[in-house]
Amino acid sequence: MKKLLAFTLLTFFISGGSSMAEELQQPFNKGELNPYNKYFTGTTYLERLSTNDEVWNSSIANVTFEAGARTNWHKHSGGQILLVTAGEGRYQERGAEIRILKTGDVVRIPLNVEHWHGAAPDSMFSHISVETNLPNNTTTWLEPVSDAEYK
């Protein structure tokens, strides 16, 4: 019993205190801390995959959410498409039911629809964000999603 306890503690400290939890398996790099985290609850990461330019006129990024992390309410003047790549997430349009998201799901968000998206309470989550109708698509950030709205 003492050996098992010692092994468990050693594993915990070697892994940086994260117990034996594995990193989310996803097809793209998790990226760095999201520079837009002030518009999120919890911790998220951003990896730019394709920046907007005059040739492709699109912006594509991988966004990874720690368990329970989510965006504020927001809207995109040009809409948005989400491609779920890993974990379990949530998506909700203002006034509608929360939709549970799983790997392989696609969410097409119409122009100017207030919504939020993020991880499930007990699962990390990752999606590809495709900004549509650039260069005129702007994001308007609104209030945080309350804990009551999230649950």
**How many structural domains is the chain composed of?**
1
Domain span at 55? 29-150
Task: Quick: pLDDT tens for 29-68.
Answer: 999 999 999 999 999 999 999 998 888 888 999 999 999 9
Which one-letter amino acid corresponds to residue 83? L
More confident residue, 27 or 19: 27
pLDDT reported for residue 81: 98
Q: Cα separations (Å) of 120 from 25, 30, 87?
A: 16, 17, 8
The dihedral sign for the CA sequence 51, 57, 62, 68: positive
Does residue 98 fall inside a structural domain? yes
Question: At 87, which CATH number?
Answer: 2.60.120.10
Query: Do the Cβ atoms of 98 and 149 come closer than 8 Å?
Result: no
In a domain, 42, yes or no: yes
Quick check: is 24 in a domain?
Answer: no
The pLDDT tens digits for 75-134 are 999 999 999 999 999 999 999 999 999 999 999 999 999 999 999 999 999 999 999 988
Q: Above 50 in pLDDT, residue 17?
A: no
Residue 41 belongs to a domain: yes
